[in-house]
Structure 1
Amino acid sequence: MPTQIQRKHTMYHSTVLDADPDTVWATVRDAMQILDIVSPGDLDIHRDVSWVEGGSVDTVPARYDFKLTLNGRLVQQEIAARDEINRTQSYRAVAPTSGVARYEATIRVLPVTNDPARSFFDWSRTLDIAEDADLDVVAAIIDVMEKQTDAVRDHFAKTAQ
């Protein structure tokens, strides 16, 4: 296995956004909106995104599914926890797919103390990679994930102009 991909792969990314915390939170708490932001056009890693089993943006837990453009595999995830006051949301994979045996992530939006028109955004993730994983597919997924926080930053930079 390449050294950059470990069996338990953890990722942490953060950025400052050019939007106030309430505006950012209203967008990123919705899985459908954040998937649109982090997978636009040529970076698209998903298609056919939808809430399933009665899930919705205001329901927790809430399941949503999408297919990876990389290999057409179904990804089943759910919003597992949400804290509206502290603006945090955790989600996880419901079933293994594409070499990822387990996936958990948390996004968080914090105010920038000295600039209320901006926010601090962070995204932490843990992936357990299956023993029989296609490492090229896993590497491609991780490569896309590495760029997603920048996509969130760029999205809010465009809306601020």
Structure 2
Amino acid sequence: MPTQIQRKHTMYHSTVLEADPETVWSTVRDAMQILEMVSPGDLDIHRDVSWVEGGSVETVPARYDFRLTLNGRLVQQEIAARDEINKTQSYRAIAPTSGVASYEATIRVFAVTNEPDRSFFDWSRTLEIAEDADLDVVARIIAVMEAQTDAVRDHFAKSAQ
């Protein structure tokens, strides 16, 4: 594998958002809203996004599925844990797809102590890459993920205007 894509690939991104923590949390805790936010237009990596097996924004665990636009493959994920008080949510892939054998992620929203109308947002992810993965597809998925925190930032910057 190329050195930039390790078998166990970890990513961490953070940003300050132009919205208070409650506003941010009410949006990003909903998988449907965050997928829409981070995959607009030419960055679109999904289609046919839906809750399945009785999942919903208020249910944990809650499964949701979508298809990758880049190859049409089904992605099955679930909200695995949520802490409403600490504004933290973890989710994971429940089936391998597109060269990613496993995937776990956590998003967190924090108050900016001296600026109550702003928030700190972080997103950590771990991907296990399959031995037989198409590295071009994996590289494209990772490239999209690399830009998603900026998409969250940009979404709330537009909302603040």
| Aligned match of 1:147 | 147
> Secondary structure of 1:80's partner?
strand
> Secondary structure of 1:65's partner?
strand
| Aligned match of 1:87 | 87
| Aligned match of 2:60 | 60
Structure 2 CA distance, aligned partners of 1:48 and 1:42?
A: 16
| Aligned match of 1:114 | 114
Question: For residue 19 of structure 1, what is the amino acid of its counterpart?
Answer: A
> Secondary structure of 1:150's partner?
helix
> Secondary structure of 1:115's partner?
coil
Structure 1 stretches lacking a partner, 5+ long: none
Deviation sequence 1:110-161 (CA, Å, 0-9, x none): 0000000000000000000000000000000000000000000000000000
| Aligned match of 1:97 | 97
- Quote the sequence identity (%): 88
Structure 2 CA distance, aligned partners of 1:123 and 1:66?
A: 20
Q: TM-score, normalised by structure 2?
A: 1.00
| Aligned match of 1:43 | 43
Structure 2 CA distance, aligned partners of 1:128 and 1:43?
A: 23
Task: After TM superposition, list the pairs within 5 Å mapping 1:130-145 onto structure 2.
Answer: 130-145=130-145
> Secondary structure of 1:45's partner?
coil
> Secondary structure of 1:101's partner?
strand
Structure 2 CA distance, aligned partners of 1:75 and 1:67?
A: 6
- How far the C-alpha of 1:2 sits from its partner, in A, is 1.0
| Aligned match of 1:4 | 4
> Secondary structure of 2:82's partner?
strand
| Aligned match of 2:70 | 70
Deviation sequence 1:15-35 (CA, Å, 0-9, x none): 000000000000000000000
> Secondary structure of 1:146's partner?
helix
Structure 1 CA distance, aligned partners of 2:94 and 2:56?
A: 16
Q: TM-score, normalised by structure 1?
A: 1.00
Structure 2 stretches lacking a partner, 5+ long: none
Deviation sequence 1:55-84 (CA, Å, 0-9, x none): 000000000000000100000000000000
Question: For residue 159 of structure 2, what is the amino acid of its counterpart?
Answer: T
